[in-house]
Amino acid sequence: MNRFRPAARAVFIAATISGCAHDVVLPDESAGAVCGDGVVQNGEACDTQSGGCAECRVVPTWACPANHCAPICGDPVDGVVGDAPGCQNPRKDTDCDMTGYWMSRETAFSRDTVIGAVQSTSAWALYRFSQSGDVFQVEEHLACGNHSSGSATIDPTSGALRGFLAHNHQDPTGLHGPRKGTFKPLSGACSFSFDRWYEIHGATEDLLPADFSQHPDLASLPKLPSESDPVHPTKQSLTGAIDFDGDGTLGFGALVTGVASGTRYMVGRQWVEFATTPGKLIPPKSLALIAAGAWDLQESVISVTDCGTACALIAAGAYAAKDLATRTTLVFLGRSLASPRVASVVQAAPRKDVTTDLATCARVRSALPHETSLTPP
């Protein structure tokens, strides 16, 4: 839905010519454009009713020349083809192959520990995969943060967004990488699986299992750093906690807004895995895939700040709602950085510059908006 911005106020300039008794009113040539009027003006990249134009900005993987939007495809390096000349019916040019850049959104559900209300969480990432035979693995990975909504709205601090980029790497540079999966032909379609992956935020990775393939329960792992009273922390049981955000406070920061507002610092540990079922295979050459998953979560809130009289509510954690289906949505961008579709999202080679990676992640989140539906599509 388009939003509208009020035009800037006219600028009133007092006449300074001797003898002039009246002010002169001049129009403001920099007045803001009106998004939704169908006219592309200063500050707008597009202004049309299209899935490729959102709030007068071009959606990643689309192009809007002359205000006519269409998915980007057709370049030989994209790995994406369509029916000329308007690129209708865009699709991959290979079957059951994960090779290339993909953006992802994991959708999971938890319940707060106060009243058991459902929280919907989206977690975003960028991947570059390589595939040999039926097996693929992660070659490059950016963890792009998360967002939760429900009884409260929860977002990582700006420092936490940087922390996500610095830890839990799923590519070969990580302590437990590369993460692997399978993508193979089955019954005229494609069967997908993505191996179980464990990660931890706000604490050292030695609190994760040594061997992910053994699939240990979280409850069997060493205890997380904790505080009996996060409102009045003693800092006596925080062995293993780290300053994830680089802001001088242990744990990773989350901004909580809603009935109660404030900042809480936590340690979190989870695992997640995904696989298609026989009744929900991936169509060949599909640019997007959705697979069901399973997950588990442990949270330990170790301090709260800026919460006034609502600190006890801010200090409440959450647990995985295992009766609600977890899922991942992956969208294919292209095979290389030279692909126009990839370049519309990935601002430069990942893991070279944090500022650029943050800009890439912002585009991933924009292209795959937060999802709250309890029912998989």
Place of tokens 């505080």: 227
* DSSP secondary structure code for residue 50 in this structure: B
Q: Which residues contact 108 (CB under 8 A, 6 or more apart)?
A: 120, 121, 123, 272, 293, 295, 297, 320, 326
Amino acid, res. 215: H
* Cβ–Cβ under 8 Å, residues 132 and 180: no
pLDDT tens digits along 176-227: 989 999 999 999 999 999 999 999 999 999 999 999 999 999 999 999 999 9
Q: Sort 194 into a burial class: Cβ within 10 Å, 0-12 / 13-18 / 19+.
A: buried
Nearest to 119 by CA among 152, 89, 146: 152
Handedness of CA 206, 106, 355, 251 (dihedral sign): negative
pLDDT tens digits along 17-49: 334 344 444 444 445 689 999 999 998 999 999
Place of tokens 């919460």: 307
pLDDT tens digits along 128-179: 999 999 999 999 999 999 999 998 899 999 999 999 999 999 999 999 989 9
How is residue 168 written in tokens?
């839990």
Between CA 207 and CA 212 the distance in angstroms is 12
- Letter string b/e over residues 112-137, b meaning 16 or more CB atoms within 10 A of that residue's CB: beeeeebbbbbbbbbbbbebeebebb
pLDDT at 31: 54
Place of tokens 């040539």: 29
Q: Which residues contact 223 (CB under 8 A, 6 or more apart)?
A: none
| Residue 128: half-sphere exposure toward Cβ, Cα within 13 Å | 14
Instruction: Please provide residue 61's backbone torsions phi and psi, each rounded to the nearest 5 degrees.
Output: 80, 5
CB atoms within 10 A of CB 259: 9
* Cβ–Cβ under 8 Å, residues 268 and 297: yes
pLDDT at 105: 98
Between CA 359 and CA 108 the distance in angstroms is 24
pLDDT tens digits along 217-243: 999 999 999 999 999 998 889 999 999
Pairing of strands 152-156, 180-186: unpaired
pLDDT at 10: 32
Place of tokens 């009996």: 228
Q: What pTM, to 2 d.p., does this model score?
A: 0.86
What is the DSSP annotation of 69-131? -EE----TTTTEEEETTTTEEEEESSSS---EEEEEEEEEEEEETTT--EEEEEEEEEEEEEE
Query: Model confidence at 16, in pLDDT bands (50, 70, 90)?
Result: very low
pLDDT at 32: 64
Does residue 5 have a pLDDT over 60?
A: no
Nearest to 103 by CA among 376, 375, 366: 366
Does residue 74 have a pLDDT over 90?
A: no
* DSSP secondary structure code for residue 49 in this structure: S
- Three-state SS for 332? strand
**pLDDT, average across residues 317-329:** 92
pLDDT tens digits along 250-291: 999 999 998 889 999 999 999 999 999 988 999 999 999 999
pLDDT at 375: 77
Query: Mean pLDDT, the chain, as a whole number?
Result: 89
Query: Model confidence at 75, in pLDDT bands (50, 70, 90)?
Result: confident
Q: Sort 236 into a burial class: Cβ within 10 Å, 0-12 / 13-18 / 19+.
A: exposed
What is the DSSP annotation of 209-269? -S-GGG---GGGSPPPP--S-TTS---SS-TTB-BTTSSSSSBEEEEEEESS-EEEEEEEE
Between CA 341 and CA 345 the distance in angstroms is 7
Instruction: Please provide residue 187's backbone torsions phi and psi, each rounded to the nearest 5 degrees.
Output: 55, 40
